[in-house]
């Protein structure tokens, strides 16, 4: 999980990119652009940066409508996504689903999916069978 310090450092990077560094909505726009740049290399940092930028914009008096316009929302309310309780619940649920999935194929757990849990991750029954086939094939070839 990303610390508040890292998110605030990213927010400062966004502030330096903003066309008006004193306008919280311009900083939010710059943070959104920065998140697009970081999307491949930083997963949790992107969410933490957006949450912090939205919180700062709200603290400065920006309306949910103005915030939503920065994200390109037309009908969906940004309040639902960025209300702290909803955002926290959403992130926790997403992390739990990701952490419970097979570390190899990302297959989610279910009533008919059996998982072997280890210290560094988990593996589903299909991946175990595939790994067994690979090892058996290597043994037949004499490796």
Copy the structure tokens of residue 20.
């008006």
pTM: 0.48
Q: Domain boundaries in the chain?
A: 7-82, 101-142
According to DSSP, the β-strands at 115-117 and 122-124 are antiparallel
Q: Is 106 left (phi over 0), alpha (psi -120 to 50) or beta?
A: left
Cα–Cα distance measured from residue 104 to residue 91, given in angstroms and rounded to the nearest whole number: 22
> Is 55 annotated for ligand binding?
no
**Within a 10 A sphere around the Cβ of 94, how many other Cβ atoms?**
13
Contact 127, 121 (CB under 8 A): no
Q: pLDDT-based confidence at 130, cuts 50/70/90?
A: very high
pLDDT of residue 128: 93
Q: pLDDT of 34-91, one tens digit each? A: 877 776 555 567 777 888 888 888 888 888 888 888 877 765 555 555 555 555 565 6
> Is 124 annotated for ligand binding?
yes
Q: Is the pLDDT assigned to residue 142 strictly greater than 70?
A: yes
Instruction: State the DSSP code for 40.
Output: T
């Amino acid at each position: 999980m990303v610390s508040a310090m890292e998110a605030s450092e990213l927010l400062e990077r966004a502030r330096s990119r903003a066309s008006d560094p004193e306008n919280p909505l311009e900083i939010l726009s710059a943070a959104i652009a920065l998140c697009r740049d970081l999307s491949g290399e930083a997963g949790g940092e992107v969410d933490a940066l957006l949450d912090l930028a939205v919180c700062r914009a709200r603290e400065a008096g920006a309306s949910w409508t103005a915030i939503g316009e920065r994200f390109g929302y037309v009908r969906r309310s940004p309040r639902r996504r960025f209300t702290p309780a909803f955002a926290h619940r959403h992130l926790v649920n997403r992390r739990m689903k990701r952490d419970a999935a097979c570390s190899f194929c990302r297959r989610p757990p279910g009533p008919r999916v059996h998982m072997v849990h280890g210290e560094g991750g988990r593996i589903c029954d299909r991946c175990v069978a595939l790994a067994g086939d690979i090892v058996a094939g290597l043994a037949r070839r004499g490796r």
